[in-house]
Every structure is written in C-alpha cells, then in structure tokens.
C-alpha cells in the first residue's frame, strides 16, 4: 500500500577536516529537486575550515561531537534529527539532483521498507550524464553479499526509517576497531527482519582519493569480516 504521508528526510553528514570536499557536498544538496527537511553536519573536532565553509550554507545545522570517530558523529546527528527518514552521506559525497526525491519515493511507496542504499561513481572522472567509476561500489555490495548473504547499506549513500533506527540504535557497536558502522547497522536491520533495498538510480559521486591506497582497501575488507565475526559472537548473525 502506498502511503499518502509526505515523509521528511533529514540528512546527516559526519565531518572531520573536510575543507577540500565539503563545499561540493553541500552545493549538491542545495540543488535538489525536492529539498530535504533538514541537513545536519556533525563537526567531529575539525581543525581546518570545514566549519567555516559549512556556515556559508544557511540551510545547514552544525553540531559538534567531541568523541572522535564516525560512529559517535553519526549517532549525534541521528539523535538530533527530526525527520521521518534519516539519510546519511559522507562529507566527500556529491548526491545526484533527484537523490532526496528518490528517497522519499521509495519509502512512501513501500511502508515495509526499512532502509535504502545505492551506487557511487568517482567524482573526479564524472562528466556529462555518464556515470563512470562504479567499480568500488559494485565491489563493495558484491563483497557484502558474499560475506553476509544479504543486501547491505553503504555509509556514503544510505537512508534508514526513523522507527527502525530507534529499534536498533542501542545494539549498534560503538568500537570502530571492530566494525564498519554501515555494515553493523545492516546486520541489525536484517536481524529484526527489516527490508533493505538497493536502488540503482539512487546515485552519488564520491571523491576518489580514498581508493588510491590499496592498504586501506585491504583494511576495509578485513574489517567487514571482523564485523561479521562480532555479530556471530553476539548471536545476531547466523550463516
């Protein structure tokens, strides 16, 4: 059944020393076909001009989180958000113009939908209407299905219904040395029989500098395995 309620989308952006990328991120949010209900940037002890640049965008609400780490930062944003849907991106994410519109559409058309995710291309090589550079996001989602057996969320491009977040938030792992936060959330949603959807048209671009270091890519893989082990040990994941 399609819901008649117009859902409010809150966007949460954890940020730590993001002066090189935050402007392009916020410019894309300013150009949405449907504006978000709110945009919350959580400054996680930045020492550069991240805060100064963000303040140039009047629609951005800036919060601070003193505990270092993306988990603490996105929890601060989620706990402060007032919308029906909590959408999370990274500070180097540049969303497509219909991003908020597609989030609303997906959740309004499917009241059973718990969370949503989509692909990412590399910002530096994007041009015209083409969408190159999808290798990493394709690899990430395939890796997730291989290791866990179901669709997972990607922190650079994800949205979760508020009700589901309230249900799982206390069970999320707060130790970043153990888990990827987006995979941790995905497993908890799966544990509660929630529905996660991949929308191929929910597109974003991401800055590619994180992928030039193969050591970091390898660490990403290792931590996904550690996230699975964490949940198997707590009994929330049976494979």
pLDDT tens for each residue of 165-179 = 999 999 999 999 999
Q: How many CB atoms lie within 10 A of CB 63?
A: 15
CA distance 228 to 147: 8
In this structure, the dihedral spanned by the alpha carbons of residues 39, 40, 41 and 45, taken in order and rounded to 10 degrees, is 170
The stretch 179-202 carries a mean pLDDT of: 96
Contact status, residue 35 vs residue 143, Cβ threshold 8 Å: no
| C-alpha pair distances (Å), 34 with each of 73, 103, 129, 159 | 26, 10, 20, 16
Q: What angle do CA 29, 194, 149 make, to 5 degrees?
A: 95
- What is the reported pTM? 0.92
Q: What kind of architecture, by CATH, is found in domain 9-234?
A: Alpha-Beta Complex (3.90)
Give the pLDDT confidence of 61-120 residue by residue, as tens digits: 999 999 999 999 999 999 999 999 999 999 999 999 999 999 999 999 999 999 999 998
Q: Which one, of 166, 205, 191, lies nearest residue 83 by Cα?
A: 166
């Amino acid at each position: 059944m399609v819901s008649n309620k117009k859902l409010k989308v809150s966007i949460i952006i954890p940020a730590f020393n993001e002066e090189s990328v935050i402007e392009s991120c916020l410019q894309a949010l300013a150009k949405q076909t449907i504006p978000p209900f709110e945009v919350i940037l959580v400054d996680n002890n930045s020492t550069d001009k991240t805060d100064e640049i963000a303040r140039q965008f009047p629609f951005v609400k800036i919060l601070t989180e003193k505990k270092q780490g993306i988990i603490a930062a996105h929890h601060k944003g989620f706990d402060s958000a007032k919308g029906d849907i909590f959408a999370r991106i990274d500070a180097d994410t540049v969303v497509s113009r219909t991003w908020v519109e597609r989030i609303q559409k997906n959740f309004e058309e499917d009241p059973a939908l718990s969370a949503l995710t989509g692909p990412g291309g590399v910002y530096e090589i994007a041009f015209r209407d083409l969408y190159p550079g999808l290798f990493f996001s394709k690899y990430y989602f395939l890796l997730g299905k291989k290791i866990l057996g179901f669709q997972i969320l990607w922190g650079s491009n994800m949205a979760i219904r508020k009700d589901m977040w309230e249900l799982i938030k206390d069970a999320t792992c707060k130790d970043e040395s153990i888990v990827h936060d987006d995979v941790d959330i995905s497993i908890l949603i799966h544990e509660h029989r929630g529905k996660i959807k991949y929308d191929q048209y929910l597109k974003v671009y991401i800055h590619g500098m994180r992928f030039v270091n193969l050591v970091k890519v390898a660490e990403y893989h290792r931590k996904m395995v550690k996230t699975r082990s964490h949940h198997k040990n707590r009994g929330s994941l049976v494979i």
